[in-house]
Amino acid sequence: MAARKFYQELFETYDSLAEIADQHGALTLADIVYLSSAILSGDGYVDHSFSDIKEVVSAMPSADQWVTFLHDGPKSSAKPRY
């Protein structure tokens, strides 16, 4: 259910994935996929140091919930993105 909510909010905030890629680049678009996987598993994270994923997520209504899956670099206690 959380991943569904994530995508619902994403598309309420942005018109399309193409818009995100145009504005924030391909790495950010890839990190959206990694983030949704982390949300589904409940214990993953996304290293956002190379993309604008944090900026994209921060514009969403439940940003506080989604940013818990974003970290600067590897965390030893969490599973990395794929």
Backbone φ and ψ for 69, nearest 5 degrees, come out as -95, 0
Question: pTM of the entire structure?
Answer: 0.82
Q: How far apart are CA 44 and CA 36, in angstroms?
A: 10
The string of pLDDT tens digits covering residues 9-60 is: 999 999 999 999 999 999 999 999 999 999 999 877 888 788 999 999 999 9
Q: What is the pLDDT of residue 78?
A: 47
For the chain, the domains span 2-71
